[in-house]
Structure 1
Amino acid sequence: MPNTETLRAFVYAADLGSFSAAARRLGKAHSAVSTAIANLEIDCGVPLFDRSGRSPVLTPQGQALLPHARGVLLGTTEFIAMANSMAEGIETHVSLSVEKGISTEPLMPLLRAFTERFSSVSLEVTTPSSNDSADMLRNGRTDIGLMAEQEGYPIGLQFRGLGYSKLIPVCAPDHALAQNIDASYRDLRRYRQILRHKDPVKGTSQQNEKKSAAVWHVEDPDLIIDFVRAGFGWAELPLSLVKQPIERKELVRLNYAFQQNDLLEGIDLVWTERRALGVAGQWLRDEMLKFPQTTWLEEPF
């Protein structure tokens, strides 16, 4: 059964083009590398190098086996790295949920730093709806969650406000409201509003969001965009979701004549107190808590 040192000699000799160069890289004698590769050929039952020329050249069998040798060495390296991480108290897996409608763009630099710092930790990212985020945390299906602000959270969840994102009122280009984008409160009440459905049992109220006498409740923000695009009504949605449809002229941005300030929706970082975060999870949570309050306030367009 070939060991890692023998496989490493094979890979280095193939990469560097000679047994002597592989020996120098490994800090071994030329004869040790030559013997190791010869023994590997005996174990495999096929020649790995053609030695008829001045420099050894991989045989077809050697070329076919080389990727597998690399895979074994990579697996060994990952095994050792994960074992070391576990010995240091670093978990093997971290799950992050980012609720639909919250932009992931501000997370990219942080996740890049996470992969460099915790290369052996598997990261799972999910995008649940607003009604599923808290349940996923409470049931242990995710470790950390980014959620639209709620008035209350189930017992056992901890949260901190991270800032705000902008809500943009939109309608279809051929909707009646599009003819008067400086809409009054009376204008809005005349037409159906499509609200993001939130379960009131979980402590979230929609009274402040309701501006129309006629309302549809839809859970999935992407489906709301489809309904608005089809002309079924108007809606207030996160900028991250409607920016591209507006740029493509599939939606029209409305302005409220009765409100001069931007519509803002709070963003909370939520985690469970029933299960302690590992080293990597704590680092990810603590780094997100350092975000400025303006992190998700995208520039208007």
Structure 2
Amino acid sequence: MDIPELKAFISVSDLGSFSKAAHALHISQPAISRRIQSLEQSLQQKLFDRDGQKIHLTPAGTLLKPKARDILAMVASTAETIKSIGDDIQGPLKLAISHHIAEHYLAPILSVFKETYPKVELIFKFVESEQGCTHITNGTMDIGFVTLPSEEMDKLVAQPMIKESLVLVAHKSHELAAIDSPHELMTRLPSTLTLLPPLSSFTGQQISTALNEMMITPKETIECNAFASLKALVVSGMGWGILPENLLSPELVSLFPGTQIQREIGIVHHTVRELSPAAKAFIALSQKIHRASDGYGFA
């Protein structure tokens, strides 16, 4: 089992075709077939089944795929680390990040990082936090700047950076905004349209837990990935919602002043793969700025 064989295996598995894999790797189809055959012989297991024109992983192939990704990612990361010894920090750094986190927290880090490490090529993938963690697990991105889940993630190390407060809000003209009694508000909220992030997301799971603790069970909800879009819906008066405190504006009122839902934002990386010097530098700089801000957002 060697690196070219593993690359051939991953390419065939991802593309579902020997010919497409050969084209992607710039080698002939017979060469791809020989590499797969050699890999199967060394493992003494069949890795692919054919169903007409379709190719499927066998149980052995399914087991091998994530491990093969880990091996290839570790080899690539090690090569970058070795190349950087004795040199300035350079090379690519692939960062998975959500739009909200990029908009509100990335700029202070990025401006200093680009000035300090001009030879690093930053490659961004803007995704939801859950997808970002999947990219880190699969080795397609180096680090993620994401909302952290409540529980530990398999194969990932999480480094908390920012505590972000979420608040229950409505437009100042909404009927809920005129209610002074907390008890009456608690009674009215469940029957009023609720605007939330997807409850299956890391943030949504934390919101769901908090609402359960407050004994609020919305009967009708609209879920949206983008906080900016949720804010627009709340501002339109459609219903009440939960937004980051840094998105509040004069036309919005907090329904329960002093009541906040806390979520943590931070950096994640793989537990096993060696971090490149560029990734280590980005994390160290983020931690430095985080400490200077006391963990409640970057100034």
TM-score range, shorter chain: 0.5 to 0.7
Task: Say if 2:95 is the partner of 1:108.
Answer: no
CA distance in 2, matches of 1:216, 1:179: 23
| 1:3-45 residue CA offsets vs partner (Å, 9 max, x unmatched) | xxxxxxxxxxxxxxxxxxxxxxxxxxxxxxxxxxxxxxxxxxx
Q: In structure 1, give the amino acid aligned to 2:189.
A: L
Structure 1: stretches of 5+ with no match in the other structure? 1-83
Q: Equivalent pairs: percent with the same residue?
A: 18
Partner of 1:193: 194
Equivalent pair of 1:97/1:125 in contact (CA under 8 Å): yes
User: Per-residue deviation at 1:280?
Assistant: 1.4
TM-fit CA distance, 1:223: 2.9
User: How big is the shift at 1:262?
Assistant: 3.8
Give the deviation of 1:282 after TM superposition: 0.4
The runs of at least 4 consecutive aligned structure 1 residues that moved more than 4 Å come to 84-87, 103-106, 200-206
Describe the SS at the equivalent of 1:284. helix
Gaps of 5+ in 2: 1-82
In 2, distance between residues paired with 1:158 and 1:124? 21
* Structure 2 CA distance for aligned equivalents of residues 271 and 234 of structure 1: 36
Pairs within 5 Å for 1:1-301: 88=87, 90-102=89-101, 104-180=103-179, 183=182, 184-199=185-200, 204=205, 206-210=207-211, 211-214=216-219, 215-240=221-246, 242-243=247-248, 246-247=249-250, 249=251, 252-256=252-256, 260-290=258-288, 291-292=290-291, 294-297=294-297
- Give the conservation status (yes or no) of the 8 Å contact 1:90–1:278: no
Q: Which shifted more, 197-206 or 101-110?
A: 197-206
Aligned length: 208
The answer as to whether partners of 1:100 and 1:130 remain within 8 angstroms in 2 is no
SS of 2:228's equivalent?
helix
Give the CA deviation at 1:121. Answer: 1.1
CA RMSD of aligned residues (A): 3.3
Render the CA deviation track for 1:25-75: whole Å, top value 9, x for unaligned: xxxxxxxxxxxxxxxxxxxxxxxxxxxxxxxxxxxxxxxxxxxxxxxxxxx
Deviation at 1:105, TM superposition (A): 4.6
TM-score normalized by the length of structure 2: 0.58
Q: Cα gap change, 1:269/1:109 in structure 2, threshold over 3 Å: closer, same or farther?
A: same
Instruction: Select the structure that is richer in helix.
Output: 2
Q: TM-score, normalised by structure 1?
A: 0.58
